[in-house]
């Protein structure tokens, strides 16, 4: 390693490696990537920031990268999957939610509220970072910020497009919204799913293209799904919005994440 690399640590991970040449760090595995790879890096290595300098969420892979957690200033971790091993590190405070059929929103909110009072940055994680951890984060936003389910979902989905709830998790979020506000604000739509890939006996819903409510600085017609159109057939698959009698016997188990 040349003199310059020895004197100049990596600005991301803080270790000494030839980051300018794309060399992988021998301590934490970080490397500078091409612009075409940056989206992959955010998904696989860095936790997604939900509330600035406070709330993050991601996968077990995010939680296992201690050096990158430190680089983001994260000092506390909320594990939403009881069967997922909690990594031991004296510099990080861990809290694991108890196992049960329902997501323990109240337990999670108590821990997150304490983190906020202590002005500590916290990571909420599950195995894949797609279902349980974003659901817990949205539950916290509904309870502490009084955001409705569709608003919290839009906020989180914009920051991590790979979020993908199971029907069971979506149902629990609706029930929690009902518990907090006394009513639900409508079902979430999942336009990335096609009738060919998922057919549980649901009829076509006429209002499946209804826009999500405006939130913050977003325009009235703005939606988290107003991106470049994918070359897939249209459909109207909506969780919890218009189930037929043929789907009443279907049970979709909540995935392990």
Per-residue model confidence as pLDDT tens digits over 89-148: 778 999 999 888 899 999 999 999 999 999 999 999 998 899 999 999 999 999 999 999
Helix ranges, 25-166 (H): 38-44, 60-64, 66-71, 105-117, 132-145, 149-159
What's the whole-model pTM score? 0.59
48-51 sheet: strands from edge to edge: 48-51, 55-58, 121-125, 74-79, 93-96
Confidence band of 195 (pLDDT split at 50, 70, 90):
very low
Question: In this structure, are 53 and 178 located in the same domain?
Answer: yes
126 is catalytic: yes
Q: What is the mean pLDDT of the chain?
A: 73
Tell whether the model's pLDDT for residue 75 goes beyond 70. Answer: yes
Range in 15-24, 35-44, 112-121, 193-202 the model is least confident about: 193-202
The whole-angstrom separation of Cα 55 and Cα 52 is 7
| Claim to verify: residue 180 and residue 219 sit in the same structural domain | no
Please give the sequence-ordered ranges of beta strands (E in DSSP) within the chain, or none if there are none: 48-51, 55-58, 74-79, 93-96, 121-125
In a domain, 60, yes or no: yes
Position 186 pLDDT exceeds 80: no
pLDDT(172) > 80: yes
Q: Are residues 198 and 168 in the same domain?
A: no
Predicted confidence at residue 17, as pLDDT, reads 75
pLDDT at 125: 94
105/91 Cα distance (integer angstroms): 26
133-148 per-residue burial string, b: 16 or more CB within 10 A, e: under 16:
bbbbbbbbbbbeeebb
Burial of 107 (0-12, 13-18, 19+ CB in 10 A): middle
Residues 22 and 90 in one domain: no
Give residue 89's domain range.
46-185
Q: Kindly state whether residues 173 and 129 are assigned to the same domain.
A: yes
Is residue 26 one of the residues assigned to a domain?
yes
Number of domains into which the chain is organized: 3
Q: Is residue 37 part of a domain?
A: no
At residue 230, the pLDDT reads 47
Both tokens of 51, joined, read 């509330």
pLDDT confidence band for 65 (50 / 70 / 90): confident
**Which one is catalytic: 13, 25, 126, 205?**
126
**Is the same domain home to 1 and 62?**
no
218 and 239 assigned to the same domain: yes
At 64, the pLDDT band (50, 70, 90 cuts) reads: confident
Smallest CA-to-CA distance from 12 within 39, 26, 31, 27 is with 31
């Amino acid at each position: 390693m040349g003199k310059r690399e020895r004197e100049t640590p990596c600005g991301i991970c803080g270790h000494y490696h030839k980051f300018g040449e794309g060399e992988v760090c021998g301590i934490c595995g970080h490397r500078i990537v091409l612009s075409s790879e940056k989206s992959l890096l955010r998904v696989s290595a860095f936790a997604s920031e939900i509330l600035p300098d406070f709330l993050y969420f991601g996968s077990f892979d995010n939680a296992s990268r201690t050096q990158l957690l430190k680089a983001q200033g994260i000092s506390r971790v909320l594990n939403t999957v009881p069967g997922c091993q909690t990594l031991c590190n004296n510099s990080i405070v861990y809290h694991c939610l108890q196992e049960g059929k329902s997501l323990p929103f109240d337990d999670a909110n108590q821990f997150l509220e304490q983190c906020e009072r202590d002005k500590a940055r916290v990571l909420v994680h599950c195995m894949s970072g797609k279902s349980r951890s974003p659901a817990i984060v949205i539950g916290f936003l509904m309870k502490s910020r009084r955001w409705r389910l569709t608003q919290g979902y839009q906020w989180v989905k914009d920051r991590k497009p790979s979020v993908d709830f199971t029907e069971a998790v979506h149902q629990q979020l609706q029930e929690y919204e009902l518990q907090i506000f006394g009513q639900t604000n409508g079902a979430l739509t999942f336009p990335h799913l096609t009738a060919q890939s998922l057919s549980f006996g649901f009829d076509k819903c006429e209002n499946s293209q209804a826009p999500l409510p405006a939130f913050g600085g977003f325009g009235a017609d703005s939606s988290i799904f107003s991106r470049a159109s994918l070359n897939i057939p249209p459909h109207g698959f909506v969780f919890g919005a218009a189930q037929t009698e043929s789907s009443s016997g279907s049970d979709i188990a909540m995935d392990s994440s």
